[in-house]
Every structure is written in C-alpha cells, then in structure tokens.
Chains A and B, each alone.
Chain A
Amino acid sequence: MRDRVRKLVYVEPQDMDHFEGWLEDMARRGLHWEGQGPLFVRFRRGEPAPVRYRLEPRGSLRGRESQEYCRSMGWEYLGGIGRYFDLYRNEDARAPELHTDPVVRACGLERTARAMKRLCLVLSLLVLAFLAMVLVPLFLMSFPVETFLTGSALTFCALVMEFVAIASSIRAVAAFFAIRRRLREGVASRRDGSWRWVAGWNTALMSLAAVLLLLCVWSLTVSLEGGWEGALDGAAEPYPILALQEVEGDPTLEPVPDALSAEVLGYDWDNSVRYHCYPLLSEKYEVEQRLTDGGDYEPDLNMEWYRLSLPLLAAPLMDELVYRYTEHNYFPEEFTVEELDLPGFDRAVLATDNQWPGQRLFLQAGRVVIYLDYAGRGDLTAHPQLLEELAGWRK
C-alpha cells in the first residue's frame, strides 16, 4: 500500500466548514493532510485520529508571538491553502479551539471577504465578456441561424463549459459568505459529514465539464475534417440532387464547361457539389448545375440541402433562408412570394422572379430544409414527386 494518496480537491477551502470537515473525516480514516496543489490534495497514511484542522485568513497568525502561542496550545501551522488561507492542525482533543469566539472569527474574515468580492466581480465581468463575445456577433449577423448551425455551436459549448467550471467557485464563495454571516450572528462553525454532499456536487460538475470539453474537441474535429467537394459526375460519395435535365424535361442538355474553375479548382464549379457537416447540422450539401442546349439557352439550378441535428431549428432556418433570398438586399417588387401546399412537406414557399424567368423554392420536411434557386423556363413545382424524393434522400 502506498504511503501517500492524492485526492481531487472535492471541497474548496472557501467553503471553510466543509473543507475542515472533509480533512477531519480523512484523518479519522488514517489519511492526514500533507500538501495541496490547485487540483489535488496529498494525504499521508497514518493511524486514524480525531485530528482538528482549521483554516485561518492568510498571514493573520504569522507573527512570532502568535505562532508561539499557537504551538503552546498544540496548533501546528501546516502551510498556505490557495490564495486566502493558512491551515492549522491540532492533535490534542482537549486543547482550546483556534477560535473561541465566532464573532471575532467573522471579524477576522473581513479582508478575505473583500478579496472574494473582488474575485466575484472579476468572475462576473469575465462571464459577461464571454457572453458578449458569443452573443453580440450572433445578433449583429444578418443570418444568425446559419451562423449558429455552422460555427457558434462550438462557442456555445465552450460557454456552457465555462459556466459549469465557475459554478463550483460561485457555490464555494456563496458558502463562505453564509459561514461568515452565521459567525457574525454568534453561531459556531459546524463540521459534520455534509461535506459529502458538496463533494458529490463538485464531482458531478467536474464530470459534466469533462464531457463538455470532449464535446468541444469532437465538435471542432467534425467541423474541420467532415467535408468534401468535387464535380457532380466524379463525386466520391452520394449526394442529393434534383436533376436539371428532369426539371427542364430535356435529357439532351449538357453541362456548360467552366475552364477557369476547372483549372483553379480541378473541377467544374458550375456543376459541382460541396458537403459539410457540423455538430448541429449533420449534413449540408451545396449542388450547382448549369446546362446548355448548345445554343443560347443556359438554365441553372443551385441547391442548398440541410439536414439538422435538432428538428426545432428547422423552422427558424427556413424563415431565415426565405428572408435571405427574397428580402435581404432585394427590392420588394423583385419577387412574388407565396406559401404553397405541397404534399410531403411541412412548409413550402415559392418566390417567383418578376423580371427574369426564374424561381426560388424553399422546402421544409421534418429536419430537412431545402433551398432551390432556379433560372430557366421550367417550373420547379411541376415535379412534386421529384421534390418529395429529394427531401427523403438518405445516404
């Protein structure tokens, strides 16, 4: 059996009564405090003993006379704990308490209380700053839903993790002020087994923070690595598509080659597909098609196809896409927008271009949201079967 044992700091020193109670319980089990880092407490194995541990505001008993008086009463100075406290131990059960007057003890905590108020202020400012960092850009963006789906989820995850991380500090500081209030009222400190409740709470918070951290890492990995792009006819994986030839009813239409993009990208941008995935957006496809009849007619169809991880975000995304492609930076007279009743869809919105032959069709079926931008002589709504198949597409 090892002589020394490390344990996570289950109870923060600011929660003085519980911290002292924890150390005393450990001593009764034969584990005696030896040292402490930011995360772990080191215990030395020994005989189980009813040892008393007490925290004092840092430096309050450092004078030579007071140290001598402490020693004469059996109080041994062990060292500093965190930023605010010194730790004392007494193995003599009959020796007087380090503090024999609770009101005076509360009085001695004044300086520590002021430091903790400053800490609370700094923590609050940090939380507000972080919150502003996450939320302000979102509200300033023209398209907050898509921004949230494709990027901010990671930041939100980190935000929740930060709240979880500081929750235990906030609880400990609140406990400190509650102890100080009780002491001022003359109520002596209680050191019972209730530190276990605090330890359980802190363990749960630490576990949650660890899970969120893993989620952040996973989210980042997925966002950075989960995508591909290429030409329509040479795509490495299947993808959803509403074939432009079928919309046009002309299977003889051919792709218009784009030499520049083929040279720069290695594939024809006008007839290409791009795929991305994010934690909140499990699939996003962008499919471009541009065909020609060999003469002047060159219809094109661009599609954005979304499958969301959270169904509740589908309706806001649909609203945002309609706004984005019919109102944002458009004059009101450019499109005639109407709600359609298409079988198999929760919602369908058609925007007809009033100046040029073209349509914009917005579809939502459960977690799938589709935006089709068509320029040509055909009618997207004339193919409900194809649209239903498009919405029901799966890998």
Chain B
Amino acid sequence: MGRRTLEILTESMFYVLMSLLKADRCGTEMADWVNARTRGRVRLGPGTLYTILAKFEEETLIREVAVAGRRRTYTLTEEGRRRYEEELARLRACLSDAEEEAP
C-alpha cells in the first residue's frame, strides 16, 4: 500500500513537501508554516503531521538532519524534490485543463 498511497499526494502531503523547499524545519515549524501559507485553510493535526513525516522518511522523500532536544529537523531529499515537482506538474495540468474549459 505504501507506494500506492503516495502515487497522488494529498493536500497535506503536498504542503509538507512545500514547507521544506526553502528551509529545513521541524514538525511544528512545518505545521505553523502550512497554516500561515494557506491562511488557516490547511491545518495539520498531530496525527496527520507525524504520520506524513514517518511515511516520507520511510520513502526517503525527506531526511532527518538534526536533533536538538525534542526537535527533529528534516530536509527535502532529491527524491522528495522530484516528487514535489511531479505533483506540481500534475496540478498545473489540472488547472490548465480547467482554465481551458472555463466558459
């Protein structure tokens, strides 16, 4: 199921990858960033956030780079960046189709 789940990233997954594009962050920083970036539209509950991190780490989309106290900081891997770009292209294609079909 692991691979199948990640074939299409959900909105939460997509924003977690996005949060790591320009900076390495720990879990709570990612949650705060996503909340701010989407103006509160996407909120990451603790269960969702840490399940995503565990899954992404297992699938090598992210990698832990530092542990300071209880904070674990993650960075995006090449595979994670490639997966993000792939999803972005898919979303752009969706949007483009929608715009072309717009009345």
A interface residues with partner B (beta carbon < 8 Å): 54, 56, 60-61, 63-66, 68-70, 72-73, 75, 96-101, 103-108, 110, 113, 184, 186
Given A100-B45, A101-B11, output 17 extra A-B contacts at Cβ < 8 Å: A54-B47, A56-B47, A60-B47, A60-B50, A63-B50, A65-B28, A66-B49, A75-B46, A96-B43, A99-B51, A100-B42, A100-B44, A104-B48, A105-B48, A106-B5, A107-B2, A184-B5
Contact of B48 among A64, A68, A100 (CB under 8 A): A100
B interface residues with partner A (beta carbon < 8 Å): 1-2, 5, 10-13, 26-28, 31, 42-52, 54-55, 69-72
What are 18 sample pairs from A and B whose C-beta atoms fall under 8 A apart? A54-B47, A60-B50, A61-B47, A63-B50, A63-B72, A65-B28, A69-B27, A73-B45, A73-B46, A98-B47, A100-B45, A101-B11, A101-B44, A101-B45, A104-B12, A104-B47, A105-B48, A108-B47
A99 pairs with B5, CB closer than 8 A = no
Given A65-B27, A69-B27, A107 and B46 touching (CB < 8 A)? no
Q: Please, which residue of chain B has its CB at the minimum distance from the CB of A99?
A: B47
A107 pairs with B12, CB closer than 8 A = no
A66 pairs with B46, CB closer than 8 A = yes
Q: How far is the CB of A379 from chain B (nearest CB, A)?
A: 78
Contact of B10 among A65, A73, A97, A103 (CB under 8 A): A103
Helix, strand, loop or mixed for chain B's interface? helix
Q: A101 vs B49: C-alpha distance in the bound complex, in angstroms?
A: 9
A69 pairs with B10, CB closer than 8 A = no
- Identify which of A64, A73, A99, A107 gathers the most chain B CB atoms within 10 Å of its CB: A107
B72 pairs with A65, CB closer than 8 A = yes
A70 pairs with B2, CB closer than 8 A = no
A69 pairs with B5, CB closer than 8 A = no
Q: How far is the CB of A117 from chain B (nearest CB, A)?
A: 12
B71 pairs with A107, CB closer than 8 A = no
Q: Please, which residue of chain A has its CB at the minimum distance from the CB of B11?
A: A101
A101 pairs with B28, CB closer than 8 A = no
Instruction: Please name all residues of chain B whose beta carbon is closer than 8 Å to the beta carbon of A65 when the two chains form the complex.
Output: 26-28, 70-72
Instruction: Please name all residues of chain B whose beta carbon is closer than 8 Å to the beta carbon of A107 when the two chains form the complex.
Output: 1-2, 5, 51, 55
